[in-house]
Amino acid sequence: IASIELVSSRSTASTGEEVVVTARALTGDGRPASGVLVSFEVSGSVTGLRQWIRETDALGQAQISFTTTEAEIVVVRALVPQ
């Protein structure tokens, strides 16, 4: 895997709104990589889980969702475990 791209469903969210984050795993030549385990870590005021491991689908994508609990910056990191 050469890179992981992250895309959020929202650039800002009010308290109580759901945010969906999609990670896309890419090979060195830019093709989607399926079957890759992606480890997500979320920091900030959110409900539910703060860590997930998801496998990318045929399009090289894996998704998580969370709900905000306060108006503050929420940081999402996505890593491929070595």
Residue 46 has a CB neighbour count (10 Å cut-off) of 19
pTM of the prediction?
0.88
Residue 37 pLDDT grade (very low, low, confident, very high; cuts 50, 70, 90): very high
How many helices, marked H, and strands, marked E, lie in the chain? 0, 6
Residue 82 pLDDT grade (very low, low, confident, very high; cuts 50, 70, 90): low
* Percent of the chain scoring above 90 in pLDDT: 67
